[in-house]
Amino acid sequence: MRSRLVAAVVALGAAACTASDPPPAPYDLPLPPGFPPMAVPADNPTTEPGVALGRQLYHDVRLSPDGRRACASCHRQDRAFTDPAAPGVLPHVNLAWSRNFLWDGRFVGTLEEAMVMEVEDFFQTDVARLAEPDLEAMFAAAFGTPEITTTRAAYALAQFQRTLTSGAAPYDRYWAGDASALDAAAQRGLALFYSERAECFHCHGTRLFTDNQFHNIGLDADVAGTGRGAITGAAGDDGRWKTPTLRNVALTGPYMHDDRFATLEEVVAFYSSGVALSPTLDTIIRIGGFQLTPEEQADLVAFLRSLTDEAFVTDPRLGPPP
């Protein structure tokens, strides 16, 4: 019902366009090889002016009523759109394929619905604050009307989020046939990653390196009322947290929902020997840990570092508008 309401609001906005207005130019969204199709709703096509507006809002502190915070305040491009100084912030990478948002999945829905939530509930955006000539012009270009609504702001943010697609790491070049893209350690790490010895791929699978599901990987022995279980109330969900993507993982530390690990080495060491048994521990996880040798742990870290997409974290089209 909520999405229908949102669609109706946007449709009203679109109706403000005159028949003589040219349609906004579509934004080219090339998919990295091997990626699944990207869902783009009919009521929010990705357009050049829509992405430009979304990019502006993402970096614009006018989004918050006190004028102090924008999305980019906690989602830095050089850190793959997360922030080591902000607690528990998941990176904004490939969210176009997610329906579960935040570590405990407290929001489930489409990207548009998630952005509506962010604008209306997290930022509690005051649209009057956005009603300045520069933004009104951008809203007019994107939606055919200078009238600013929280829904249109959210839809523009969703359009920009669809451009935050990362799939050009050395790993991708390796699969494309460039054997030199991964050094020997990373290639050994890749073999481990896709084996039941280290058991990474079942959760961090597909080219997205996440299943976007919830798992208890054994961080704690006492998981009562934590994680997904705190949202659903189901004991079977206790201790389960969303699988983060591993794309650009070398840039997104500290790690886990509570930032308990500072480095990738600490993360891999945990999987090797720190796994705690609890009633909901995933059966994909070896109780007590995978007992990896120091060499295996180093190889896995080398592989994880091969998932850094330098073009993504330096692409000027994703940074602050000029």
Nearer to another protein by Cβ, of 118 and 309: the residue is 118
d(CA 116, CA 307): 30
> Could you tell me the smallest distance in angstroms from the CB atom of residue 109 to another protein?
5
Nearer to another protein by Cβ, of 141 and 292: the residue is 292
d(CA 27, CA 193): 35
Q: What residues line the site for another protein (CB under 8 A)?
A: 1-2, 34, 36-37, 71, 74-75, 87-89, 92, 99, 102-103, 106-109, 113, 117-118, 120-124, 175, 190-191, 194-197, 199, 201, 205-206, 211-213, 231-232, 236, 277, 279-287, 290-291
- Helical (H) or strand (E) element with 215: strand 214-215
Closest CA to 198 of 294, 298, 289, 283: 289
Nearer to another protein by Cβ, of 103 and 261: the residue is 103
d(CA 187, CA 189): 5
d(CA 61, CA 58): 8
Q: What is the DSSP string of 18-64?
A: -TTSPPPPBPP-PPPTTPPPPP--TTS--BHHHHHHHHHHHT-GGGS
> Could you tell me the smallest distance in angstroms from the CB atom of residue 145 to another protein?
25
Place of tokens 């915070």: 69
> Could you tell me the smallest distance in angstroms from the CB atom of residue 19 to another protein?
35
Nearer to another protein by Cβ, of 16 and 39: the residue is 39
> Could you tell me the smallest distance in angstroms from the CB atom of residue 56 to another protein?
15
Nearer to another protein by Cβ, of 183 and 211: the residue is 211
> Could you tell me the smallest distance in angstroms from the CB atom of residue 108 to another protein?
4
| Residue 121: DSSP 8-state | I
